């Protein structure tokens, strides 16, 4: 078996350098734990950006995948398959939405929502041709396609990749007045993350979503929530929008919807909005494939049956309190909801990356976001004992 060092060498030799991973090579995983090539054990405190909320290789999801592997994996949408309908019904009922469109990656779900909102604008809101406008927030993260980076405010995401797709307007996140002011006759949608994950787990002011919901309703604008990272239990509720008792018009899910086994994403919306798609308007070879749907059905069942939203709320509240005790020389503040947390470091503490490297040495896997923020988002199946173990290591490094 090649060593971790050898694996890193060939990965860097043959792979494009569009990531800068920590120097650890994972070769096995179970629950909240992973092992490297040499057998060293690490606690996963990132969960593949919340794609493994159910923990690595959850036996129920793995079992469903194995069973489906022995039946049929891919049909394309040229034919029906016996997993797609039940999956769509289950995800609609879970989220309280009327209809769904399956895709694969999160970015594809966002692209789909953008196309849907535009077409809805032209057919239902009667916006003049090619004038539809979608409002988004600065510091957003919605994926990496050419259209999606067109409305990023991060220079690195965009630089060298123009020309950009027009039709997007950026406003500050959490600012209701700015949203109101941004609205014009051609505004068809507001695309927003209920908590900005990649920006560093930025929680908007209380009541933000409620007020935004009202403004969207009054102005006939689709409220499109990107819950690809915040959805499915991560923030202590099944969906982050539940914290404010609202419902979006459009909901994008991905990541944990398959428990980390396959790329599965979905756009959920009202019957009116999703009905803009007619045969031939949009599609994906793998979107809605039987293997993806079977896996997603099991992954959703696990979230419900293992009460992962509740675990996230309870364990997260306690863990956040403990992290607060570290505020001091290095830690500026702690923020987040449920087990979706971030520590913001003080300028004087230096770059967050160095602390992630120290935590890695101690057996805790986490990743910096931006220069000075470390996100903590363990699998939601993690137990109290492992959280205590993690806290001891975090205290040694950040206390």
The set of catalytic residues is: 141, 226, 255
Could you tell me which stretch among 224-232, 243-251, 275-283, 310-318 binds ligand PLP (CB under 6 A)? 224-232
The reply to whether 228 sits near ligand PLP by the rule CB under 6 A is yes
Q: Which is nearer to ligand PLP, 83 or 229 (CB)?
A: 229
Question: Quick one: tokens of 199?
Answer: 């920006």
Interface stretch with ligand PLP, choices 68-76, 113-121, 221-229, 372-380 (CB under 6 A): 221-229
Between 81 and 229, name the residue whose CB sits nearer to ligand PLP. 229
Q: 44 - beta bridge partners? A: 365
Number of residues that bind ligand PLP (CB under 6 A): 14
Minimal CA–CA distance to 288: which of 256, 313, 266? 266
Rounded Cα distance between 200 and 82, Å, is 40
Using the minimum distance from each CB to ligand PLP, give the nearer residue, 133 or 226.
226
Q: Rounded to an integer, what distance in angstroms lies between the CA atom of residue 104 and that of residue 293?
A: 11
Report the residue from 31, 55, 102, 106 that binds ligand PLP according to the rule CB under 6 A.
Answer: 106
Query: Closest residue to ligand PLP, Cβ-based?
Result: 106
Residue 248 — φ and ψ, nearest 5°?
-80, 170
Site for ligand PLP in 175-194 (CB under 6 A): 193
143 binds ligand PLP (CB under 6 A): yes
Q: Which of 133, 226, 249, 368 binds ligand PLP (CB under 6 A)?
A: 226
Smaller CB separation from ligand PLP, 172 or 328: 172
Q: Where are the alpha helices (DSSP H) in the chain?
A: 4-14, 47-50, 59-69, 84-95, 106-123, 146-150, 155-158, 176-182, 208-218, 271-274, 290-305, 308-324, 352-361, 384-398
User: How near is the Cβ of 282 to ligand PLP at its closest, in Å?
Assistant: 17
Q: Does 369 participate in binding ligand PLP (rule CB under 6 A)? A: no
208, 256, 338, 375, 380 from 238: Cα distances, Å: 19, 11, 11, 20, 12
Rounded least distance, CB 177 to ligand PLP, Å = 24
Binding mask 238-277 for ligand PLP (x = CB under 6 A): ----------------x-----------------------
Binds ligand PLP by CB under 6 A, chosen from 42, 87, 141, 241: 141
**R_g (Cα) of the chain, nearest Å:** 21
Is residue 142 near ligand PLP by the rule CB under 6 A?
A: yes
Select from 386, 384, 366 the least CA-distant residue to 315: 384
| Closest CB 143 distance from ligand PLP, rounded Å | 4
Helix axes 384-398, 308-324, angle to 10 degrees: 30
Residue 7's CB: how many other CB atoms inside 10 A?
Answer: 16
Contact predicate 381/358, CB 8 Å: no
From candidates 54, 105, 258, 372, binder to ligand PLP by CB under 6 A: 105
Among positions 15-74, residues that touch ligand PLP (CB under 6 A) are 49
- 204 binding ligand PLP? (CB under 6 A): no
Give the interface segment with ligand PLP, choosing from 91-99, 140-148, 171-179, 269-277 (CB under 6 A). Answer: 140-148
* Distance of closest approach, residue 204 Cβ to ligand PLP, in angstroms: 14
Residue 136 or 397: which CB sits closer to ligand PLP? 136
Largest CA distance in the chain: 62
Contacts of 121 (CB under 8 A, 6+ apart): 127, 132, 186, 188, 189
Cα gap 327→325, rounded to integer Å: 6
CB 40 within 8 A of CB 363: yes
Q: Report the C-alpha dihedral over residues 254, 259, 263, 268, rounded to 10 degrees.
A: -30
> Interface with ligand PLP by CB under 6 A: which residues?
49, 105-107, 110, 141-143, 193, 197, 226, 228-229, 254
């Amino acid at each position: 078996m090649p060593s971790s060092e050898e694996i890193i060498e060939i990965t860097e030799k043959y792979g494009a350098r569009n990531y800068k991973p920590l120097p650890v090579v994972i070769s096995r995983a179970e629950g909240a734990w992973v092992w490297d090539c040499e057998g060293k054990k690490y606690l996963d405190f990132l969960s593949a950006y919340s794609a493994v909320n159910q923990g690595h290789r959850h036996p129920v999801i793995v079992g469903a995948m194995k069973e489906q592997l022995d039946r049929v994996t891919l049909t394309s949408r040229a034919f029906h398959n016996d997993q797609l309908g039940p999956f769509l019904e289950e995800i609609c009922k879970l989220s309280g939405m009327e209809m769904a469109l399956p895709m694969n990656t999160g970015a594809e779900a966002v692209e789909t929502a953008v196309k849907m909102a535009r077409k809805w604008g032209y057919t239902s809101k009667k916006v003049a041709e090619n004038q539809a406008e979608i409002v988004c927030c600065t510091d957003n993260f919605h994926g990496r396609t050419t259209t999606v980076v067109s409305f990023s405010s991060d220079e690195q995401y965009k630089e060298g990749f123009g020309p950009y797709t027009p039709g997007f307007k950026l406003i500050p996140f959490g600012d209701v007045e700015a949203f109101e002011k941004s609205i014009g006759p051609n505004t068809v949608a507001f695309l927003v993350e209920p908590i900005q994950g990649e920006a560093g787990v930025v929680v908007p002011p209380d009541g933000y979503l409620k007020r935004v919901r009202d403004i969207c309703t009054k102005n006939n604008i689709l409220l499109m929530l990107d819950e690809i990272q915040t959805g499915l239990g991560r923030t202590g509720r099944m969906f982050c929008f539940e914290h404010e008792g609202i419902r979006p018009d459009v909901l994008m899910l991905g990541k944990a919807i398959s428990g980390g086994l396959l790329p599965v994403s979905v756009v959920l919306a009202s019957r009116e909005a999703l009905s803009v798609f007619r045969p031939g308007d949009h599609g994906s070879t793998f979107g809605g494939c039987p293997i993806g749907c079977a896996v997603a059905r099991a992954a959703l069942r696990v979230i419900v049956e293992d009460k992962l939203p509740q675990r996230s709320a309870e364990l997260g509240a306690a863990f956040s309190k403990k992290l607060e005790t570290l505020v001091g020389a290095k830690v500026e503040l702690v923020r987040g909801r449920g087990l979706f947390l971030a520590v913001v470091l003080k300028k004087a503490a230096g770059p967050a990356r160095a602390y992630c490297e120290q935590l890695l040495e101690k057996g805790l896997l986490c990743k910096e976001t931006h220069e000075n923020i470390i996100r903590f988002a363990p699998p939601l199946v993690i137990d109290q004992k492992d959280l205590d173990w993690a806290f001891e290591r975090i205290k040694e490094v950040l206390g």
